[in-house]
């Protein structure tokens, strides 16, 4: 047998072996089992699994935006979304987050959130038709293309402050409320206030770091003490998602904390 014939024979044998192996593997596959989906498309195993403790200690709210039931036209309203603040499976962790607010007039609740991304939360909670409303964000307007979609939510006024801390943003809200109160004291008319609906998305910790969340809540508590006649509604956007699965899976998938200060 010539050399080229031997090479062809070996190549043929290898091809046959590979074909048989492939047919065997394909034959053992179960085509009725769907391919694994990425985590954010998987159905949630925790979405309805609120513990007995949560159900007993917190008011349970549905998916209706909080603004619908909590906005009070007789006073200034500050709505705050804390990015990546979710409801942990371990109940004591949420209690630790909220302890800094215990000394203020408050209501604690859990709110159903349908999607795990910030843009959904802003669309759901900040959409409004109020004449006097303003949106604030301590970051670049290009992030998530907010400069494009925030105006579609009903805001005629927006304030973006790139790289501004949460403390700085609260001081800006201070100035808005103090200016409104000074006008109100002179005219005794709520219509003369600059803003009745102030909406702020606060960036705290993408991975739900509890120390950072507690620090942000302490800043908000101090702010609330300066404005006892202002209703302040705080809620999470969604559970932490920009983190590893070990952290992400320690949170309920479609529930966020809610705090109403000066109710």
Q: The domain spanning residue 241 has which CATH number?
A: 3.40.720.10
- Report yes or no on 32 lying in a domain: no
- Report yes or no on 6 lying in a domain: no
- Report yes or no on 164 lying in a domain: yes
- Report yes or no on 4 lying in a domain: no
- Report yes or no on 28 lying in a domain: no
Dist. CA 118–CA 84, nearest whole Å: 8
- Report yes or no on 9 lying in a domain: no
Give, to the nearest 10 degrees, the angle between helix 210-226 and helix 166-187.
20
pLDDT tens-place string over residues 84-133: 999 999 999 999 999 999 999 999 999 999 898 999 999 999 999 988 89
CA 198 to chain centre: 17
List, in order, residues 6 or more apart from 234 with CB less than 8 Å away: 80, 82, 217, 220, 257, 258, 259, 260, 261
Query: What's the mean per-residue pLDDT of the chain?
Result: 85
Q: Sorting pLDDT into bands at 50, 70 and 90, what band is 44?
A: very low
- The answer to whether 63 and 120 are in contact (CB under 8 A) is no
- The answer to whether 258 and 234 are in contact (CB under 8 A) is yes
pTM of the model: 0.78
List, in order, residues 6 or more apart from 149 with CB less than 8 Å away: 119, 122, 123
Nearest to 79 by CA among 240, 203, 260: 260
Count of domains forming the chain: 1
Q: Which domain holds residue 117?
A: 51-261
- Report yes or no on 25 lying in a domain: no
Is the pLDDT higher at 73 or at 174? 174
3-state secondary structure of 210: helix
Strand segments, DSSP code E, in the chain are 59-61, 77-82, 106-112, 133-137, 157-160, 197-202, 231-236, 255-261
- Report yes or no on 240 lying in a domain: yes
Among 2-6, 106-110, 175-179, the least confident range: 2-6
Q: Report residue 125 as tokens.
A: 């909670």
């Amino acid at each position: 047998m010539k050399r080229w014939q031997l090479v062809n024979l070996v190549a043929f044998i290898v091809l046959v072996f590979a074909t048989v192996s492939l047919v065997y593997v394909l034959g053992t596959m179960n085509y009725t089992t769907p391919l694994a989906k990425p985590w954010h498309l998987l159905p949630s195993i925790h979405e309805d699994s609120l513990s007995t403790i949560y159900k007993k200690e917190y008011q349970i709210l549905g998916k209706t935006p909080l603004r619908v039931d909590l906005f009070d036209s007789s006073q200034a309203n500050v709505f705050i979304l804390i990015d990546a603040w979710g409801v942990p499976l371990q109940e004591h962790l949420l209690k630790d987050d909220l302890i800094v607010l215990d000394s203020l007039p408050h209501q604690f609740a859990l709110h159903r959130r349908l999607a795990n991304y910030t843009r959904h939360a802003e669309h759901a909670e900040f959409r409004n038709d109020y004449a006097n409303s303003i949106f604030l964000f301590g970051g670049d307007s290009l992030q998530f293309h907010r400069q494009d979609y925030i105006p579609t939510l009903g805001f005629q006024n927006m304030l973006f402050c790139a790289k501004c801390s949460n403390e700085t943003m609260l001081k800006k809200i201070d100035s808005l409320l103090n200016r409104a109160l000074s006008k109100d004291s002179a005219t005794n008319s709520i219509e003369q206030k600059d803003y009745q609906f102030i909406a702020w998305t606060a960036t705290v910790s993408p991975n739900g770091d509890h120390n950072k969340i507690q620090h942000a809540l302490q800043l908000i508590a101090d702010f609330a003490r300066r404005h006892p006649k202002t209703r302040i509604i705080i809620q999470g956007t969604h559970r932490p998602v920009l983190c590893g699965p070990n952290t992400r899976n320690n949170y309920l998938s479609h529930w966020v904390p809610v705090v109403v200060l000066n109710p």
